[in-house]
Chain A
């Protein structure tokens, strides 16, 4: 089925470790984005991309890197995990940034010890 696929669904890391959260969509959407969701904070935009080779920072980009080498994939990298990065991460896609996120992945629940 068409949609946004995120892996892994759950991950536990130790402080200082690095990892990559994977996100792939098969709808040929140009716009992809990463959000983190924390209790009482809603969703906050980390990074987004308006097409292959183009990325930009959102509201809370520190400690995260992204790249967009293909239209389909938009991985999020944690460079050196910190307990403050414990959160649920959602990837989303849309045909246009003006349209807002239309399809969300199921999320990755990340715990940093």
Chain B
């Protein structure tokens, strides 16, 4: 079965530090990839997504992610984090044509990011 792994459970950074959150998935076919963010007490918001084309995807709030097919990875990056980036980040994968369930988005367990001012 397909799965999504987020390597870090909790990341603590100081403001202005660079961020990279890991995400790996297990599925050999075509995938759509997503990163979502959940600020404390709020619902999820879509940060960015990859369907096809340029493997470097830019999203909102200065975030970007790179799809590396050979590594089954879709890591999230930000050059300089701010205190307001404190949130939980979720990677998600939609394995196309997997069991015919196009709507079956699989989420990772999330990475909590704490940014110290």
Contact = CB atoms under 8 A, between A and B. Distances in A.
Chain B associates with chain A: yes
- Chain A interface residue count: which class? 20 to 34
A8 B1 CA distance: 34
Contacts, number: 63
Given A41-B109, A42-B109, A42-B110, A97 B43 contact: no
Contact of A58 (B46, B94, B104): B104
Interface string A32-44: 0101000011111
A101 B90 contact: no
A45 B49 CA distance: 18
Contacts of A90: 43-44
Interface of A: 31, 33, 35, 40-45, 48, 50, 56, 58-59, 90, 92, 97-102, 104-107
